[in-house]
Amino acid sequence: MSDITSSSFVRHDLLTERPAPVKTTGFIGLVRTRLFNSPTNILLTIVGALLLGFTIVPSVKFLMVDAVWTGKDRAACLPENAGFAVGACWPYIQAKLPQLIYGFYPEAERWRVNLALILAAVLLLPLLVPRLPAKGLNAGLFFFAFPVVAFFLLHGGGITGFGLSWTAGLLQLFDDSIMSAGQALLSPSKTSAIAPLLWVIGNLILLVGTAISWLIFPLTWLRDQIQGTGQSVWVDFAITTVVVSLIAFWLGGGVRAGWRTLASSLAAFVAIAIVIKLMGLDHGGLPIVQTSLWGGLLVTLVVSVTGIVTSLPIGIALALGRRSTIPLIRIFSIAFIEFWRGVPLITVLFFATYMLPLFLPGNFTVDGLVRALIGIALFTGAYQAENVRGGVSCDPARAGRGCRCARAVLVEDDLAHRAAAGAAPRHSEPRQQLHLAVQGHFARFDRGAVRFARFPASVVRGSEVVDAVDVVHRLRLCRYHLLYLLLWNVALLALRRAPPQRPPPQLIELHHVR
Amino acid sequence: MSTEARKPPAQIALKIRRILGGKTGWNGVAVQFVFAAILGWIGYEIVSNTRANLENQHIAAGFGFLRNNAGFDVNQTLISYTGSDTFLRVFVVGLLNTLVVSVVGIVFATVIGFIVALCRLSPNWLLSRVGEIYVEIIRNLPVLFQILFWYLAVLAALPNPRQSISLLGIVFISNRGLVIPRPIGESGFEPFLAALAVGIVGALALRVYARSALFQRGQMIRIWPYVLGLLFGLPLVTMLVFGLPFTFELPQLKGFNFAGGSRIIPEFVALTVALSTYTAAFIAEIVRAGILSVHKGQMEAGSSLGLSRGTTLRLIVVPQAMRVIVPPLTNQYLNLTKNSSLAVAIGYPDLVSVFAGTSLSQTGQAIEIIAMTMGVYLLISLLTSAVMSVYGWRVSRSLGA
C-alpha cells in the first residue's frame, strides 16, 4: 500500500502557461490561414496581388486621377486645355447624357418617356414585393395594360375605332385571304392535269369565303355605319363595352353568379375610357414620334420589356406543346424551339429586317423597331419554353405530379358528388387506391402547384392525363378561366415566389373551376 | 347466367388512335387537323406574299446568284480569294473565318475558364476573390459591349507599327494587329508529319494494350517511357535524318509596316479575346459547379481504399465531375460559336458579316442568303446536340444511372 503511494506522482505546482493558440479569426487570422500559410500560398497571394495591381491601378488612374471632371464639352478634355495627359472625359458624357438616354427623341416630348418609365417602375415595384396584395390586378396592369399605354405614350397617335372595328377588320382580312386562295386555285386550273380537283377545291374555298363574308356582313355594315358618325370611337367603345360585358356576365354564371364579373368588366372599360380621354386618343392623341428617332436607354428598355412580356406566353405555349402527346403539335413545338435556339440572335435580327417584310402583304409596312421586336419575341420565347419545360418536367415532385393530382382529385371529387346526389357510385378497387395515393400526394402540395398544374391540364389535354381515360370527358372546364389562369401563371412564373401555404386541399376551389 | 369473358378490344384501332392522337385519342386528331389547317393557311399567306413582293422588286428567286462574281475583297481569307471569285466562294471564306475564330476562342476559353475555376476554388483568399470579381464582372456585361471594348478601347489605343510592342523581338503588337513568325515548310516536313502520326497512333495502341492487360489479367504495364519516346523521340530522330521540318520567317519592320511574318488582323484579336474571356467566365462557373458537385465522401472513400490522392482524383472525382461539366460546357462552346456572329459589329469577315451582310446588300437575295446562314448555324448546333445526347447516353450507361 505505502509502496504505491510513495511511488505515485502528484504534481504540487501549476504548469507554466502555454502560449495562446495562433489567432484564426479576424483580419490577422485570415492573413495567417488563407494568405500566407505555406510557400505556395504566399506565391499565389503575390500573383493575385500583381493581377489586381495591373488591372485596378490603371483603371482608377484612367477613370479618376487622370480624368477631367469639369467643363462644358469635349473641348475641356483636349490635352492643351487640360494641361496633362487626359484619361476619362466626364464632361463629354455629361453633355451627351440626354442622347444616351433618349436618343434623338424630340426634346419637347421627352416628358412622355419619363412618364412611361415612372409608370413602369410604379407598376413593377409592388410586383416584386411578395407581401403586397392584389398581385393579379397588378400583373394584369403591368403585362397587359401598360404595354398598350406605353405604346400610345411613346409613339403617339390615336385610334379611329375600337373593338368592333378591329374585329371586323381582322375578320375581313381573314376572309380576303381565303378568297384570294380560292382564286389562286381556280386560275391555273385550266391547263393542269388535276384541273377538275383543283376547280372543285377552289370553288369550295370560294364558297366558304362567301359564306364567311355573309356571316360577318352585320359587323362590317355596323362598322361602316359607325365610321359615318362623328363620334366613331365612342360609339364603337360603347357597343364593345356592352357586348363584352354581357359575354363576361353570361360566362361568369349569368343572373346567379355573374354580377361580380360584370362589375369588374365594367370597371375595366371605365378605366380604358379614362385612359382614352386623358391621352386624347379619340382625336389624334399625342404627336407621333417615329421610332427611328428613339435611341439609347429607351430602346434598350423597350426591347427588353417587350421581350420579357411576350416571351413568357410564347414560352409557356411552346413548352406545353412540347410535352403534349399529340404528334403534330409536339413535332411543331420541338422544331420551332430547336430552330430558334440553334441560330444566333443577330441572324434572327437579319431575318426580321430582311425576310419578314417579304412575308407580309405588299401594302403592309412594318416599322423597323417592331420587326426587331418580333424577332426577339420569337427568339426569347424559344429559350423561355425550355426554361418552362425544365421547371415542369425536371421537378416531378412539384409540378408534374401536381398536374396529375389536380386532375385526379377533380375526378374523385366528381365521383363523390355523384354519390352524394344518389347516383350509383362506381368506385372500383384500383380507383380507390388511386384516390388514396392522390390524397397523400395532394396534401403535400401547396396551392401554387395545383394552380400551376390546372393550367396545363386544361389547355393541352394531351399533356398530362390520368390513367383512366374516360375521366377526360367528365371535365367541363369553363373556357373563360383560361385567361385568368394564363394571367395567374404569368404572374406566378414572373415572380417565382412561393405561394402562401394553406393546409387542406382546395376542393371547393376546384369545383369552382369545373 | 353466362359468364363469358368479354372480347379483348381491337388492338390495332387503339394503336392507330394512339399514334395519330397521342393520349387524347380522336380529339387529338381533330386538334391536329385544325392546327394543320392554320399552319397551311399561314404558309400559303407567306408564300403568296413573298412571290408578289419578289415580283414587284424584280428579284429572281433561286440559288443562281451563287455563281455570280462577288466583286468585293475580304481582309482575312484562309483559302485563296480575289474579288473576281463567286459568292459561293465568299460563303466558304466566311464559314472558314467563323470556324477558325470559334475554334481558337474555344481553346482559349477552356484554358482561361479552368484557370479561373481553380482560382475560385483555391484556398487562397485573395486569389479566390480575384476569380470571383472576374466572373461577376465579365458575366454581367453584354458580350457585344466587350467586343467593342477590346476593339475600340484597347486595340485601337495601341501604338502604330513603328512603335509597336515587341515580345522578345518575335511577336509584335500594334494597332494594325498582331504580327507573328510564319512557319515555312522545308524538305523534312513530310517525314516529320508522318513520324508524328505514327507516334500518336502507336501511343494510343500502347494505351489500349496496357488497359486491356490491366483489366483482363490484372497486369500493370508501365508504358509512359515508350509513349514519350514515340511522341517526341521519333519526330526528333526524323528531324536529325531528314533535316528541319520548317523554319520561321521573322517579321521585320520596314518603313511604316512589317514585312515577312504573318499578320493577324486586329478584328480577329479583339473578337477572340472578347469571346474567350466572356465564355471563360461561364466555363469557370460550370467547372466549379462540377467539381463541387462531387461529394467530399468520394475523396475519403478513395483514400480509404488505399488509392493515392492523384489516382482518386483521376479515377473517382474527375469522371463524376465531368458528367456534370460536359453538357453545359458544350452549350457554352455552342454559345461562343453563335456569339462569334457579333463579329459583324467590328467588321471581322465572318459568315454573317461577309455573306449575310455584304453579299446580301449586293444581291438582295434575302431569303436564300439568310436561310443559308441560319442553316449553317443550325446544322452546327444540331450536330453538337446529337453528339451530346450520344455522350449523355454513354455516360449514364457506364455509370449505371
Mean pLDDT of B156-174: 76
* Contact check, Cβ <8 Å, B24/A462: yes
Task: Work out the mean pLDDT of chain A and round it to a whole number.
Answer: 74
Distance from CA of A199 to the nearest CA of B (A): 18
| pLDDT tier for residue A418 given thresholds of 50, 70 and 90 | very low
Partners of B171 in the β-ladder: B167
| Number of other CB atoms surrounding residue A47 within 10 Å | 15
Q: Is B346 a residue whose pLDDT tops 80?
A: yes
Instruction: Flag if B124 and A35 touch (Cβ within 8 Å).
Output: yes
Contact yes or no for A110/A286 (Cβ under 8 A): no
CA A443/CA A435 separation, integer angstroms: 12
Nearest CA in chain B to A333: B35
Quick: pLDDT tens for B76-132: 777 877 777 888 888 999 999 999 999 999 999 999 999 999 889 888 888 899 999
Of A51, A328, A344, the CB nearest to B338: A344
Q: What is the DSSP string of B162-181?
A: GG-EEETTTEEEETTEEEE-
CB pairs under 8 A between A and B: 135
Residue contact A347–B53, C-beta within 8 A: no
C-alpha cell at A497: 415566389
Task: Tell me whether residue B314 is in a domain.
Answer: yes
Instruction: Give the CB-side neighbour count of residue A35, counting CA atoms within 13 A.
Output: 15
Same domain membership, residue B329 and residue B272: yes
Give the number of C-alpha atoms closer than 13 A to the C-alpha of residue B24, restricted to the C-beta side: 22
The answer on B40 and B171 residing in a single domain is no
The CATH number of residue B302's host domain is 1.10.3720.10
In chain B the first and final C-alpha atoms are separated, in Å, by 53
Residue B264, beta-bridge partner list: B178
Residues 38-77 of A with CB under 8 A from B: 41, 44-45, 47-49, 51-52
- Partner residue opposite A343 with nearest CB, options B46, B50, B377: B377
Residues B29 and B163 in one domain: no
Q: Which of residues 11-30 of B touch A (CB under 8 A)?
A: 19-25, 27-28
B128, B265: one domain = yes
Q: Is residue B259 part of a domain?
A: yes
- The DSSP annotation for A161-216 comes to --HHHHHHHHHHHHHHHHHHHHHHHHGGGGT-TTHHHHHHHHHHHHHHHHHHHHHT
Q: Does B71 fall in a domain?
A: no
Residues 82-121 of chain A whose Cβ lies under 8 A from any Cβ of chain B = none
Cβ contact B23–A462 (<8 Å) = yes
Which of these, A170, A313, A168, A145, lies nearest to A226 by C-alpha position? A168
Going by C-alpha positions, the residue among A481, A491, A488, A492 that lies closest to residue A459 is A481
Task: Tell whether B40 and B156 lie within a shared domain.
Answer: no
CB-closest option in B20, B22, B45 to A324: B22
* CB atoms B45 and A177 under 8 Å: yes
Give domain status of residue B222, yes or no: no
Of the partner residues A51, A343, A359, the one whose CB lies closest to the CB of residue B378 = A343
Residue A157: what are its φ and ψ, rounded to 5°? 90, 165
The residues facing B184 across adjacent strands are B247
CA A333 to chain centre: 18
Instruction: Return the CATH number of the domain spanning residue range A295-392.
Output: 1.10.3720.10
Q: Tell me how long chain B is.
A: 401
How far apart CA A488 and CA A481 sit, in angstroms, is 10
Decide if B33 is inside a domain.
Answer: yes
Strands B262-264 and B177-180: antiparallel
| Model pLDDT for residues A498-513, shown as the tens digit of each residue | 444 444 444 444 444 4
With a CB-CB cutoff of 8 Å, which residues 453-512 of chain A face chain B?
A: 461-462, 465, 469, 472
DSSP letter at A445 equals S
Strand spans (E) along B206-295: 246-249, 252-254, 257-259, 262-264
Name the domain count of chain B: 2
- The residues in A 197-216 lying below 8 A from B, measured between CB atoms, are none
Contact A70, A61 (CB under 8 A): no
Nearest CA in chain B to A49: B126
Q: What is the pLDDT of residue B137?
A: 92
Helix (H) / strand (E) element for A291: namely none
- Does residue B6 form part of some domain? no
A59-68, A385-394, B64-73, B236-245: lowest mean pLDDT where?
A385-394
Higher per-residue pLDDT: A414 or B398: B398
Q: Is the pLDDT confidence value at B230 over 60? A: yes
Q: What is the pLDDT of residues A134-175, one digit of tens each?
A: 888 888 888 888 988 999 988 888 887 788 888 888 898 888
- B195 found inside a domain: no
The verdict on residue B77 lying in a domain is: no
Please tell me what DSSP assigns to residue B69: B
**Cα distance from A274 to chain B (closest Cα, Å)?**
37
Chain A residue closest to B129 (CA)? A48
Q: Return d(Cα A338, Cα B323) in angstroms, integer.
A: 23
Q: Is B252 on the interface with A (CB under 8 A)?
A: no
Which three cell numbers mark A158? 390615336
pLDDT mean across residues, chain B: 84
Instruction: Tell me if residue A461 falls in helix, strand or coil.
Output: coil
A334 at interface of B, judged by CB pairs closer than 8 A: no
Q: Residue B279 above 90 pLDDT?
A: yes
B301 and B363 co-located in one domain: yes
Fill in the amino acid letter for B282. F
CB-CB under 8 Å, A48 with B129: yes
User: Cα separation of A424 and A421, whole Å?
Assistant: 9
Burial of A484 (0-12, 13-18, 19+ CB in 10 A): middle
Evaluate whether B352 touches B343 at the Cβ level (below 8 Å).
Answer: yes
Share of chain A above pLDDT 90, in %: 8
Q: Is there a contact between A48 and B360 if contact means CB atoms under 8 Å apart? A: no
CA A513 to CA B134: how far, in whole Å?
A: 51
CA distance A282 to A176: 28
Contact B175, B155 (CB under 8 A): yes
Q: List pLDDT tens digits, range A194-236.
A: 777 878 888 888 898 899 889 888 888 888 888 777 777 888 8
Average pLDDT value for residue range B181-202 = 82
Within chain A, all domains assigned CATH 1.10.3720.10 are found at 295-392
Check if A26 contacts B (Cβ < 8 Å). no
Closest residue on chain A to B118 (Cα): A44
Cα nearest neighbour of A53 on chain B? B130
Q: Which residues of B touch A44 (CB under 8 A)?
A: 122, 124, 126-127
Task: Tell me if chain A has a CB within 8 Å of the CB of B209.
Answer: no
Write out chain A residues lying below 8 Å of B373, CB-based: 347, 350
Short-list B275, B277, B253, CA closest to B263: B253
What is the domain range of residue B365? 87-181+250-398
Whether B360 has its CB under 8 Å from any CB of chain A: the answer is yes
Report how far residue A72's alpha carbon sits from residue A514's, in angstroms, rounded to the nearest whole number.
68
Could you read off the pLDDT of A434-451 as tens digits, one per residue? 333 333 333 333 333 334
pLDDT value of residue A25: 79
B370 with A351: Cβ contact below 8 A: yes
The 3 state secondary structure assigned to A266-278 is HHHHHHHHHHHHH
